[in-house]
Amino acid sequence: MENKVIITTDSTADLTPELLERYHIQVVPLGIEMDGKVYRDGLDVVPEDLYEYYARTGQLAHSSAASIGEYEDFFRKFTEEGYEIVHVALAEFLSCTQRNARLAAEEVGNVFVVDSHRLSTGIGLLAIRASELAQQGMDAQTIAQTVGELAYNTDVSFVLDTLEYMCAGGRCSSVAKFGANLLKIKPQIVVYDDRMDTGKKYRGKITACRSQCIEEQLSNIDDIELDRIFITHSGMPQEEIDAVVEKVKSIADFKEVLVTRAGCVISCHCGPGTCGILFMRKSKVFD
């Protein structure tokens, strides 16, 4: 009997169209609000639109969750065809997105919502793993339980090139921004299991700061799953992307080094020049 399980996720998973097709993952877009209008992340609006909007108005675009009704309609497209669904969602502590998905799942039935405890391709890593398990014939409930546990092994960190957007969004003070600019500090943002916080504060040129962060994050090779690593950025020159790829490859022999562009939800909070590495560990990231 065919294993009719389908994997879904939010647009914040930041997976490329090629990866979505390769792993048969379906996506529900979150909303992006500008000028009183709501656009669909990745469909009606792209990060460059957000940057132009901020430069023109001095205001940040805002992200919004898909509604319960939108999730119900999205899930029913698949359950009515006989599928069970594993939905890997944006971390609950970051958004009401997951709550809406759970409420919709209760109404629709045969939908298992997983708290990724992560964002961006940290979610994507888990969605891909869920897809691989589905292809192996695992049932939806077991996939959800397995991937839910793997969430704690997912290492997610970014280095910001600018605090401009964080300051505009009220996530840091103008004094902190001024000090960071004056001292050329590039902060690391780390996603924990129940919060997002500042990690290390690197100092110097952004390229050197990214390189140092990669060295430190990948220092314990024995504890890293080498299937794949994501390099996810919010807009960088190609030569800087290439430098990050080469740095990763010089340290660890990953089977796949995947480069993706962060979507609007991540970009509207971090601004351009942000770059992260996201991968799975063999043990929990934070004990």
The reply to whether CATH 3.40.50.10170 applies to domain 5-152 is yes
Q: Over the stretch 24-43, which tens digit does the pLDDT of each residue have?
A: 999 999 999 998 899 999 89
**pLDDT at 257 exceeding the cut of 80:** yes
Q: Is 144 exposed, middle or buried (0-12, 13-18, 19+ CB in 10 A)?
A: buried
CA 86 to chain centre: 17
Helix and strand tally (H, E) in the chain? 11, 13
Count Cα neighbours of 145 within 13 Å in the Cβ-side half-sphere: 5
**pLDDT at 88 exceeding the cut of 90:** yes
Report which residue type is found at 109: G
Fold of 154-281: Hypothetical Protein Tm841; Chain: A;domain 3 (3.30.1180)
Report which residue type is found at 85: I
What percent of the chain is modeled with pLDDT above 90? 75
What are the extents of the domains in the chain? Answer: 5-152, 154-281
Look at 146 and 198; give whichever has higher pLDDT: 146
Q: What is the mean pLDDT of residues 212-231?
A: 97
How far apart, in whole angstroms, are the C-alpha atoms of residue 115 and residue 185?
A: 32
How far apart, in whole angstroms, are the C-alpha atoms of residue 121 and residue 12?
A: 8
pLDDT given for residue 192 in this prediction:
85
Nearby residues of 119 by Cβ (< 8 Å), 6 or more positions away? 12, 90, 91, 94, 156, 191, 196, 266
How far apart, in whole angstroms, are the C-alpha atoms of residue 62 and residue 32?
A: 6
**pLDDT at 107 exceeding the cut of 80:** yes
How far apart, in whole angstroms, are the C-alpha atoms of residue 91 and residue 98?
A: 7
> Helices marked H in 58-139 — which ranges?
68-79, 97-108, 121-135
Nearby residues of 199 by Cβ (< 8 Å), 6 or more positions away? 157, 187, 188, 189, 190
**pLDDT at 195 exceeding the cut of 60:** yes
